[in-house]
Structure 1
Amino acid sequence: MIDHALFDPATIDPETKRLNAEIVAAHAAQEDPWDLPIAEVRARRRRGTQASPAMPRSARAETLTIEGPGGPLSLRVIRPRLRPGQTARGAYLHIHRGGWVWGSADEQDPWLERIADNCGFVCLSVEYRLAPEHPYPAALEDCEAAALWLAGPGKTELGVQALTIGGESVGAHLAVMVLLRLRDRHKMPRAFRGANLNAGFYDLGLTPSVRNWGEERLVVNTRDLTRFADDYVRAGVDRRRPDVSPLYADLKGLPPALFTIGTADPLIDDTLYMSARWAVAGNGGHTAVYPGGCHVFVRYPGEMSERALELIDRFLTALA
């Protein structure tokens, strides 16, 4: 049961309030991203000039190329630092955020370095095809291909057994969709031992919290999330089909999941609804709600982010 006190504004700490105000001001001071060419927004994100500084790229990262449905598919790999004689405890397949439209596999290296070193996992992030050039189901097919490779020849190539999966925002959406495809298309319901799902976008028909959020861009707003869904799913496709919006899927037989969400996230209903359905399906896991946390608040350093990241470390480590 979720503690209702978490949603009391009085529980939001001063650091979080200050951070949220700074994020809103930073977005307000910039050009609206929808007034710019998509290529320009992608370039600005990589340079760290789109609202928030870029996360540093890892000098340890490697690129591994596998065969994907649209051609060669790149996986960004960060291996754990191991002592002589040690082996990796497992692997973590990461799916990046960015609304299916922006973002790339190298934008969150510090998170992957942390999981690699704290959990002993080989971390792989999928460079999936982006919309609107490549609409649904291109991104999902790429992530499915990466998961199948990792659950097959990748285990031997990387020398791992325990597999986990996760992502942030649309990355969490794609992670759940991959688990459903592994279960339904490939008869591999437990190929992955657990899922780390941060602020997922699970209903492309838009939950009430998304529809009612409004214009304030605390990382994202109603317009942003609507445009993301519009660019990813072409007109004429039912947004609430189970193979588009996993909130409406049969969730039985999936692995345990850690759901992470802040109360100041337009996607909070998506996580609360999905985590409840996950529990009813008997899959197990935990839902962590953080007072005042913005969309993917772990992107911003602070005490609350550290608590959330420590819980993610413990959850993933326990799966190995």
Structure 2
Amino acid sequence: MTLTAVEMQDRSVDGMVELRERRAALLANRCLTWVFGADDPEAVVREVRAGELRLRVHAPRAPATSALGRPIVLAFHGGGWCWGSPEQSRWMAGRIAARTGAVVVAPAYRLAPEHPYPAAVEDCWAALTWVAAHAADLGADADRIAVLGDSAGGTLAAVVALRARDEGEPRIRGQVLVYPLVDLVGLRGPGLGGIVEHYLGGDESRAEEWAVSPLRAASHKSLPPALVLTARFDPLRRHAERYAAALRTAGVEVAVHRPALATHAYLTLPGISPASRAGLARVLTFLSDVLASP
């Protein structure tokens, strides 16, 4: 059966309405805190605006120990570029702030299909340049920035690190890539085809671009040190492993953490995944090392 243009448009509209309803239901679910964890009591949370972009900022309650200001961790949430919000990563963000002394900034980047690529990439880059320019307002040090992201957010963190290297600033001290998707060309699987289609606005040829598929960047040299987290039972495990291998081949310092009893999304699911705490411990150690003064 061949669909008419009107029928195709109706299906697209219905799909967007359903997606918005599913997002709203997720945020309204009382199990959200139990599954994703709560804000850390040792961190103060507030929201700021970078133009139209909402930023959720976690700062330690404890006084800063350096006159230079606190380091910054820019954290991108997961959700296949179609779901998610900074709130779903609050357990991890709050603990990073409380335990490393960093200011953790989590942007609510635009989501597909309403805002397909490159909207999310543009928002994440805008968040990086904003925190670098406004570090003093955050009580932070623009010379000590790391990026972090899980799943789709890990892809965005890798892309931001590549762009910062190419443009020469802001300087990024380290990148934490948590089960990232690094090559969207021909990506298929349960639910994945639709997510990729939404993210790319139906134009699969864009998957060839490095800002979509960071594994396809012309070079991975001179990138900041990386911590790559994956999981033994993650169906996308090879994405993270291939990217770690590409970074090592390019001479980048890389550490890999792969828990044996975990699957995709474990790091941000402390309510149901025992492996989340060991993974977070690795993240904390890595960030403390790469963000140390000077």
Q: Give the TM-score, by structure 1 length.
A: 0.77
- Name 1:109's counterpart in structure 2: 90
Give the SS at the match of 2:208.
coil
Q: Give the TM-score, by structure 2 length.
A: 0.84
- Report 1:1-320 matches (<5 A): 37-48=18-29, 53-56=35-38, 60-67=44-51, 72-83=52-63, 89-151=70-132, 153-161=133-141, 162-184=144-166, 186-188=167-169, 191-206=171-186, 211=188, 222-236=189-203, 237-249=205-217, 250-301=219-270, 302-320=273-291
- Which whole-Å CA distance do the structure 2 matches of 1:290 and 1:131 have between them? 31
- Which whole-Å CA distance do the structure 1 matches of 2:92 and 2:20 have between them? 25
Structure 1 residues without counterparts, runs of 5 or longer: 1-33, 212-221
Judged with a 3 Å threshold, the aligned counterparts in structure 2 of structure 1 residues 248 and 73 are, in CA distance, closer, same or farther, namely: same
Judged with a 3 Å threshold, the aligned counterparts in structure 2 of structure 1 residues 202 and 85 are, in CA distance, closer, same or farther, namely: closer
Give the SS at the match of 2:140.
coil
Deviation at 1:149, TM superposition (A): 1.4
- Which whole-Å CA distance do the structure 2 matches of 1:121 and 1:133 have between them? 33
Give the SS at the match of 1:265.
coil
Judged with a 3 Å threshold, the aligned counterparts in structure 2 of structure 1 residues 206 and 260 are, in CA distance, closer, same or farther, namely: farther
- Which whole-Å CA distance do the structure 2 matches of 1:35 and 1:253 have between them? 40
Deviation at 1:74, TM superposition (A): 1.1
- Which whole-Å CA distance do the structure 2 matches of 1:274 and 1:240 have between them? 16
Deviation at 1:225, TM superposition (A): 2.0
Superimposed CA distance per residue, residues 93-117 of structure 1 (whole angstroms, 9 cap, x where no aligned partner): 0001111001112222111110001
- Which whole-Å CA distance do the structure 2 matches of 1:289 and 1:143 have between them? 26
Judged with a 3 Å threshold, the aligned counterparts in structure 2 of structure 1 residues 173 and 50 are, in CA distance, closer, same or farther, namely: farther
- Which whole-Å CA distance do the structure 1 matches of 2:40 and 2:193 have between them? 32
Equivalences, count: 267
Judged with a 3 Å threshold, the aligned counterparts in structure 2 of structure 1 residues 201 and 49 are, in CA distance, closer, same or farther, namely: farther
Report if the CA contact (8 A) 2:261-2:275 is conserved: no
Query: Partner amino acid for 2:255?
Result: H
Report if the CA contact (8 A) 1:261-1:296 is conserved: no
Give the SS at the match of 1:278.
helix
Q: CA RMSD in A?
A: 2.3
Deviation at 1:85, TM superposition (A): 6.2
- Which whole-Å CA distance do the structure 2 matches of 1:123 and 1:157 have between them? 14
- Which whole-Å CA distance do the structure 1 matches of 2:208 and 2:259 have between them? 28
Query: Partner amino acid for 2:244?
Result: S
Superimposed CA distance per residue, residues 284-320 of structure 1 (whole angstroms, 9 cap, x where no aligned partner): 1201111131102123335422211111100001112
- Which whole-Å CA distance do the structure 1 matches of 2:80 and 2:40 have between them? 23
Give the SS at the match of 1:118.
helix
- Name 2:11's counterpart in structure 1: none
Judged with a 3 Å threshold, the aligned counterparts in structure 2 of structure 1 residues 84 and 115 are, in CA distance, closer, same or farther, namely: closer
Superimposed CA distance per residue, residues 143-199 of structure 1 (whole angstroms, 9 cap, x where no aligned partner): 001111122x22222232211111100000001111122222x322x6110011101
Identity %: 32
Query: Partner amino acid for 1:283?
Result: V
Structure 2 residues without counterparts, runs of 5 or longer: 1-14
- Which whole-Å CA distance do the structure 2 matches of 1:293 and 1:286 have between them? 18
Report if the CA contact (8 A) 2:36-2:91 is conserved: no
- Which whole-Å CA distance do the structure 2 matches of 1:238 and 1:130 have between them? 17
- Name 1:22's counterpart in structure 2: none
Give the SS at the match of 2:197.
helix
Report if the CA contact (8 A) 1:57-1:107 is conserved: no
Judged with a 3 Å threshold, the aligned counterparts in structure 2 of structure 1 residues 141 and 291 are, in CA distance, closer, same or farther, namely: same
Give the SS at the match of 2:79.
coil
